Chain A
Amino acid sequence: MSTIAPQFRLSRFVASLFDIIFWVILIFSLVGLPIVFIVLFYIKMPVINGQMLTPYLALTWMADPSRTLPIIKTLIHTTFFHVLAFPGFGFAALLAAATIFVERKFLAKIQLRVGPLYCGKVEGILQLMGDGLKLISKEIIIPAKADKPIFWVGPLLFVGTAGAFVSLIPVARGWVVANPAVGLLAVFATIGFFPIISVLTAWAANNKWTFIGGLRALHQMIAFEIPLILSLLSIVIMTGTLNLSQIAESQQHYWWIVFAPISAIVFFICILAELERIPFDLPEAESEIVAGWLTEFSGMMYGLIQLGTYLKLYAFAGLFTVLFLGGWNGPMVWPPFPADIVTQGITIGPITAKIAGLPLFDQDMLNGTLWFVIKTVGVILLILLPRGVFPRIRIDMLLHTGWYKLIGLAFINIFIALGLLYAGILGPGGLIQ
């Protein structure tokens, strides 16, 4: 290589940190404090617990953990937080962003490259932000004869559907955005939207390549949805429930991958096809049909599709974890919360502070989340791996795989599950002791 990476200099990094702190203080004192006084002067403040809520009081509360923590704790258990941050969109988007970075470095290591290197000084960790800013700042070009409303709404629908899928995945015991009794059916209903969105946007773009790509996406997803549903039928037979949380709960002792390995393999292959990943990336086959059904998307519209794709990747990996790898179940490795902090307080030098609001999350939830994330990341890495070793499959072989081989394989495990059930080895809810 003739180029070398720019060296990371700690001194410059520290200097830039000081720079940022200086500007924050300056702007706060020049703008923030005058605003506080203007607010105090003009706006009538509410009275809470006999005290008038001035900005000073608000700041005091923020500085006093024992008064703030209950507020945060209440916030954490609101639906708003669930949807936006923890088991929902924010958590998934964070994992998706990590996935994109890991995929690029991982693939680069397979291919004897270095991958992203410059952006963000340390191994290119800010590359994704750079790419995102680039996509946001790019012009959105819409073909002249496109069906504009549908073309506009396509990426939004895609992200929305992916988000709906994410909301069905239970991360830890009781931590799930939506917990319908027929969770698995809701999953099938949600992923049934993706081919429709693909073919709609492909048609709306009024381009031959998008048209071919959209039709390929439609064929592929429909061909693989049936083995996907059939492969999960054996799980439903063994657990006797469609609720994802209960399915995860039923695997406290044995994971279902032990009893349904064929289903797991079929489901994994179907995941690859549903996600349009290599070797099943026919709808976006570059050397054949330019970029398939994404050909006409530019700027942030393409960025939204990519975001949706990676959210979908996370959701499928999470679903695999919940159904086959025991979800949040795992040995308790998270250390218990030290109760002294609440009862006796922490002593820092001369100060002893009792913090009443802690702990924010209980040990069970943190441990469950840890195990869920570890398993999901493992599945995501397995999904990423074929991109480094496989070429693209052909459409006739793809349909043959979906309609013929995988359906047959999925049936085998249904019979195995039925056999286990009638032999009295398994009962609804797990092994019969």
Chain B
Amino acid sequence: MTTQLPPGIKLETVDDRIMTLNVGPQHPGSGHMRLIIKVDGDYIVSCDPDPGYVHRGEEKMAEYRNYIQNVPHLERPVIHDSSNILYPYCLAVEELLGIEVPERAKYIRVIAAELNRCIYILYWLAIYGIFLGHSTMFMWPAGDRELFIDLLEAMSGARVTHAYLVPGGVRNDLPANFEERCLRQVDYLEKRLKEYLAVFYKNPILISRTEGTGILSRTDAIRLGTTGSVLRASGVNFDIRKKEPYDVYENLDFETVVMKEGDSYARSYVPYLEMFESCRIIRDAIRKMPKSGSVRTKLKPNPKGGNDEVYKRVESGRGALGYYIVSNNRPEPYRVKISVGSFRNLICMPYLLKGELLGNMPAVYWSLNYWPVEADR
């Protein structure tokens, strides 16, 4: 039976060799998104990422709440990296309202952000492990993550959605004995990370599976606008903590992790090495932190921003995370735009997956450090 098509509409011609696969949103290896993958045999011909399944309108919601009320819901896109997604918001609001942050609060913020970065990377690593079929690498980081979650729970009172960073400093001071406990758990994490190296990163099967797959060259990485660990794995020395230091990062001792290969292995290895740098930062921050003092500058009730606009960005677990806030003399922001690293890294997925084997899809996909919920905001 042939139906008369309306004028101007053509049927898509289908090649019999090509099979279209909908990877997601109900696929165990997709996350909250869909990849429309066309395969010829076992080779991927084209990949079309289709995000947007978890769009929650965070930016629009922010226009109806005042600057303090915005704090708890803006961390929802990445609940396991909540300090880092709130960080640029706090920086931007502080500049907008002209608030000075106490010195101790700056250090506490850095500690919270680095602990959260480790939590995020461990979670990401757990999923990377199970995507490659390594179930031990799923369980170990997911278990070790609990220790840092406990630390942040002691700091903020909540396990995952901390809402710890607020404009003007942090919500409350550190608990008693925090420094000692934090240093002990950082030591433990470093010990465990070395075990990960033996069981996962030095595993010959893992190396043969991920090395040389999904190579993103240095020029392509810059041209496609990637950020974070993806950019650094392609040999670009770019870390906002070094290039545009915010709060007290310029006083702290750490290095940027850069790898030249740009393949799936390098992209998964850079976040792992960054956890060591995070541990270094935490140690240094605890050493240099003022031992007492105020941790929060109290804001006026319902503070109003001027007729102004401000853009602030930080280095999150997934790369540059920026907030662009426009205010128009009202207690609520006029416009809040969140620029997230996940969405910027998603763009290079079609380039990387083209011509790869279907079996490389999870390895390349999750090495991009992509978090679907954050990308959809």
Partners in one complex: yes
Cα(A393)–Cα(B363), bound, Å: 11
* A64 touches B (CB below 8 Å): no
Give Cα A107 to B362, complex, Å: 23
Contact with B along A387-416 (1 / 0, CB 8 A): 111111111110000000000000000000
In the assembled complex, how far is the CB of residue B368 from the closest CB belonging to chain A, in whole angstroms? 15
Q: Are A397 and B203 in contact (CB under 8 A)?
A: no
| Contact (Cβ within 8 A) A388 B21 | no
> Could you tell me if A396 and B357 are in contact, using CB atoms closer than 8 angstroms?
yes
Instruction: Given A208-B21, A282-B359, A288-B358, check contact A112 B140 (CB 8 Å).
Output: yes
The one of B28, B29, B133 that contacts A391, using a Cβ cutoff of 8 Å: B133
Contact B133 A389 (CB under 8 A): no
Q: Do A290 and B28 form a contact, CB below 8 Å, given A391-B206, A394-B360, A397-B208?
A: yes
The complex places the Cα of A208 from the Cα of B18 at a distance, in Å, of 12
Instruction: Kindly specify which of B68-76, B92-100, B124-132, B342-350 makes contact with the partner chain.
Output: B124-132
| Residues of B contacting A107 in the complex (Cβ-Cβ under 8 angstroms) | 135
Q: Name the distance in Å between A378's Cβ and chain B's nearest Cβ.
A: 22
A288: contacting residue among B137, B139, B359, CB under 8 A? B359
What is the distance, in angstroms, from B150's C-beta to the closest C-beta of chain A? Answer: 11
Residues of A within 8 A of B28 (CB): 286-287, 290
Known: A288-B358, A288-B362, A394-B209. Contact between A389 and B136, CB under 8 A? Answer: yes
The CA-CA distance from A179 to B277 in the complex, in Å, is 64
**A-side interface size class:** 20 to 34
Quick check: is A279 within 8 A (CB to CB) of the other chain? yes
Q: Is the interface of B mostly helix, strand, loop or mixed?
A: helix
B29–A288 contact, CB under 8 A? yes
A208-B19, A394-B360 given as contacts; is B136 within 8 A of A111 (CB)? yes
Interface assignment of A212: CB less than 8 Å from any CB of chain B: yes
How many angstroms between the C-alpha atoms of A279 and B208 in the bound complex? 13
Contact A395 B42 (CB under 8 A): yes
Q: Is B143 part of the binding interface, using a Cβ–Cβ cutoff of 8 Å?
A: yes
Q: Is B42 in contact with A279, judged by CB distance below 8 angstroms?
A: no
Q: Which one of A290, A392, A393 has the greatest number of beta carbons of chain B within 10 Å? A: A392
At the interface, yes or no: B361 with Cβ under 8 Å from chain A? yes
Docked CA distance A282–B133 (Å): 9
- B29 near A390 with CB under 8 A, answer no
Bound: A395/B360 CA distance, A: 10
Chain A residue, CB-CB nearest to B39: A212
A285 contacts B136, CB within 8 Å?
A: no
Complex-state Cα separation, A390 to B130, whole angstroms: 11
In B176-208, the 8 Å CB interface with A consists of: 199-200, 203, 205-206, 208
Nearest A residue to B21 via CB reads: A208
**B129 close to A391 (CB less than 8 A):** yes
- Cα distance A395–B42 in the bound complex, in angstroms: 9
Chain B residues with CB under 8 A of A388? 135-136
Contacts of B208 in A (CB 8 A): 394, 397
Are B359 and A391 touching (Cβ within 8 A)?
Answer: no
Known: A391-B133, A391-B134. A279 touches B205 (CB 8 A): yes
Across the interface, which residues of B come within 8 angstroms of A287, CB to CB? 28-29, 130-133, 362
Contact assessment for A390 and B359 in the assembled complex, using a CB-CB cutoff below 8 Å: no
Q: Mark A108-141, 1 if CB is under 8 A from B, else 0.
A: 0011110000000000000000000000000000
Per-position 1/0 for B20-34, Cβ under 8 A of A: 010000011100000
The interface size of chain B toward A, counting residues with CB under 8 Å, comes to: 32
Closest to A286 in B: B28
Residue A278 at the chain B interface, CB threshold 8 Å: yes
Tell whether, in the assembled complex, residue A397 and residue B29 are in contact, meaning their CB atoms are under 8 Å apart: no
A397 to B136, CA, bound (A): 22
Q: Does A281 lie at the interface of the complex (its beta carbon under 8 Å from any beta carbon of B)?
A: yes
- In the complex the two chains form, is A285's CB within 8 Å of B140's CB? no
Bound: A205/B200 CA distance, A:
36
Q: A93 CA to B181 CA in the complex, in Å?
A: 50
The answer to whether A285 touches B360 (Cβ under 8 A) is no
Minimum distance in angstroms from B153 CB to a CB of chain A: 12
CA distance A397 to B212 in the complex (A): 13
* Contact (Cβ within 8 A) A391 B139: no
Of A113, A289, A290, A397, the residue contacting B209 (CB under 8 A) is A397
In A279-331, the 8 Å CB interface with B consists of 279, 281-282, 285-290
Closest-by-CB residue of A relative to B198 is A389
A392-B139 contact in complex given A282-B359, A286-B28, A287-B29, C-beta closer than 8 Å: no
- A287 to B27 CA separation, bound complex (whole angstroms): 8
Q: Report the minimal beta-carbon distance from B141 to chain A, rounded to whole angstroms.
A: 11
| Segment 1-25 of B: residues with Cβ below 8 Å from A | 19, 21
Q: Report B372 CB to chain A, min CB distance, Å.
A: 15
Closest to A395 in B: B359
Residues on A with beta carbons closer than 8 Å to the beta carbon of B129 = 391
Bound complex: CA A389 to CA B143 (Å): 17
Of chain A, the residue at the smallest CB distance from B22 is: A208
Hey, which chain A residues are within 8 Å of B137, CB to CB? 391
Chain B min CB distance to A385 (Å): 11
* Minimal beta-carbon separation of B304 from chain A (angstroms): 44
Between A and B, 19 residue pairs with Cβ closer than 8 Å are: A111-B135, A111-B140, A112-B139, A112-B140, A112-B143, A279-B133, A282-B359, A286-B29, A286-B133, A287-B131, A288-B361, A290-B28, A388-B135, A390-B203, A390-B205, A391-B132, A391-B133, A391-B137, A397-B208
Using a CB–CB cutoff of 8 Å, the interface residues on chain A facing chain B are: 107, 110-113, 208, 212, 278-279, 281-282, 285-290, 387-397
Given contacts A111-B139, A390-B203, 17 further A-B contacts (CB under 8 A): A282-B359, A286-B28, A286-B29, A286-B133, A287-B29, A287-B362, A288-B358, A290-B27, A388-B135, A390-B134, A391-B129, A391-B206, A392-B133, A392-B209, A394-B208, A395-B357, A395-B359
